[in-house]
Each structure stands twice: as structure tokens, then as C-alpha cells.
Amino acid sequence: MPIIITGIILTLFGVLAIFSVSIHESFTLTLSMIAKGTMHGDPSNYFYFFRQIKNIGIALIMAAITYAIPIKFFQNIKNTTIIAVCLMVLQISVFIPGIGMTLNGARGWINIPFLPSIQPAEFFKLGYVLFLWWWLMRKRDKINSKDFFTSFIVLNILLFIVFLLIPDLGTVMILGIVGLIMCRYSGARIKYILWIMFGGIAAGLIAGSILGMVSDRFAYIQKRFTYFVSSSVDPQARQIWWQNQQALLAIGGWGLLGKWYGKGLQKFGFIPEAQSDFVFSAFSEEIGFIGNMFLIALYIYIAYYFLTHIRTINDEHRKMIGIGILSLILVQAFVNIWVNTEILPNTWLTLPFVSYWGTALMINFMELILLYKILKNK
């Protein structure tokens, strides 16, 4: 239960954050919708807040369905294969005209009539963990061989090509780190993990530079990295980094306690996407250093509790699934925080349980239930 309770606290933290920081974004969006004729009435300051409440309701239904499915279902190779294939088809559907949607330059959403917009990449992250668990368990006796790492690299390249075409480099980075963590837990030597990690970083930088020069589709990625490495760049690239500059002002300027709840100013158009990707920095202005440390402590506690109780699990298969799911939550959480604090370039990743987004919240709830079921051996 401590894991479930911590997840509830994180979700409530997110609800409070969105209620406060999404005022400007909600008003601007609803005003635009009224002008286009897609919405009637007056502009609302709480559009994203009410949407998030609806998202929580849907996420609770998905969590209940997940709770009803035995863990053994996911350990069955036939079921895992079917899930992996379905998720890959769902991900590829973003390229189908009339179904795939483009947002912020990335074609990563699908629009199905009478249903909310879905981001297949969030489902694919969980599917990746389930598939990689099965693959690693099969290859465990060859975990430190050259053939294993060659197969691992080729397999991940094939899986990540779809996300590179979107482009969604944030998902590629998250899954790459999670995959290496699962390999390490399976017994892979640290030197091989480091070789793959630094090789992947080098290959990504080279490929990003080349693609940025030959294709306008990837040009914005190159500009982000250029500004991240050096601040002496042209004004156009500086505009790309405006979001991060304003985020740092919100995080670093208001001491231990912040301005107090609801009194932040950076959320009024200075930090774009304050309700989703940059909710951490936008809310930091109001809750200060102590509030941020409380939020980070909640993520750390989930990891601490799971890892200290994992020794009670006798099934290695369940341990592997649990490590993969826990890695998904923590890696995405800290990558989002590091982006907000300008330690990493912008990746368009949300903060688990806290940021506004329906699909991500559904997956977060499902992941939490799976961790609970693994610990309870249900």
C-alpha cells in the first residue's frame, strides 16, 4: 500500500499544480477555440484542470482493469508477443493520414472518432519493458557475449526507427536507458553497458547533426543541442531556448518557500506548456525549494520501498518486470526535472503522475498497479 499511497499523493500534487499554473494556457486555448467556432461560451481559466480530473477518472478505470489481470498473463510468451505486435501497429498508425496528428512538430498522436487523442508512445514504453523482459530472460546465459550485445543493439535500432521518424528523441532516450538498466540487472558487465551508452550518445549526436543539415524536419533538434552546448548562437536558436531560460528563472528565484500557492508569475505566458512538460518549473515559483524536495522525495521513496522489498519476491521474471517498470517511472521523472533545470536539452517528456496528459497518466497508474501486484505476488 505505501506505493499506492505515494502515487495518490503525487497525483494530488499534480492536480494542485495544474489548477494553479494552467490558468494562462487554459484561457489562451479556450479563447482560440471560441474564435474558431469549436467551442461556445466564455473563455475558461480551468480548461486543463477539468480535463485532468477527467483523465484521472479514465486512468482509474485502466488501473482497475490492470489489477484484474494476473501477472502470469504478462509472463506468457504468446500474450507478450500479441501485446508487442499490437503496440507496434498502434505506434505506426501515427503515420496514417487522417489518424495521425502533429503537435509541436512531432507526429506522435492518433485521433480516433469519439475517443480522446492517444499518444501510442506511452503504451509502447510499457510494452517495451514486457518484451525486453522476455527477450532478456531467454538470453540470460549469453548476457556477456558479443552476439548478445550485437543482437541487443540491432533490436533496439529497429524498434527506435519509428520514433526517429516521428521524431520523438525523448522516447528513444528513455527506452535506451531503461533497456540498459534491465541488461545490467540481468547480469551484464558494467563496461559493456558503458560502451553501449557512450556509443549510443556519440551515434545520436552525429546522426542528429547530419539530419539537421539535410532535413528541416530535424533542424530544430540540432538548434536545441547547439544552444545547449554554447550560448553564443544566433537569435533564432535563442528563441528555441526561451522556455528553458524562463524555467530557470522560476526555479531559482524564490528561495526556500517560493511565492506561495497561486502567486507565481512565470506561468502567465513566460513558460510555454506550463501544465505539461514544464509543470515542475512553473510550480517551483510557488512552492520553492522545500516543495520541490518533497516532490523528488516521493519518487525516491517509490524506488526505495520497491527495491527494499524486492528480495521477498522469489520469481525472477516478476523481479525483472518490476525493475523495468520502476526504471520507466524514475528515468522519465528525473529526465523531465533535468530538462527543467537545463541539465539536459528539451525532450518534450512529461513528469509522471504530475503533468497534464491523459495517455501518460493512464500508463502511470497501470505501472503503479503492476508494481503493487508484483510485491504482493498477485
**pLDDT under 50: residue ranges of the chain:** 233, 235, 378
Residue 188: the pLDDT is 83
pLDDT in tens, 144-158: 888 888 888 888 887
Whether the Cβ atoms of residue 325 and residue 129 lie closer than 8 Å to each other: yes
Whether the Cβ atoms of residue 149 and residue 196 lie closer than 8 Å to each other: yes
How far apart CA 214 and CA 36 sit, in angstroms, is 36
Whether the Cβ atoms of residue 328 and residue 126 lie closer than 8 Å to each other: yes
Phi, psi torsion values for 97, nearest 5 degrees: -60, 140
String of b and e for 311-325 (b: at least 16 CB within 10 Å)?
eeeeeebbbbbbbbb
Instruction: Look up residue 334 and give its amino acid.
Output: F
Residue 235: the pLDDT is 46
Domain edges within the chain: 1-68+241-378
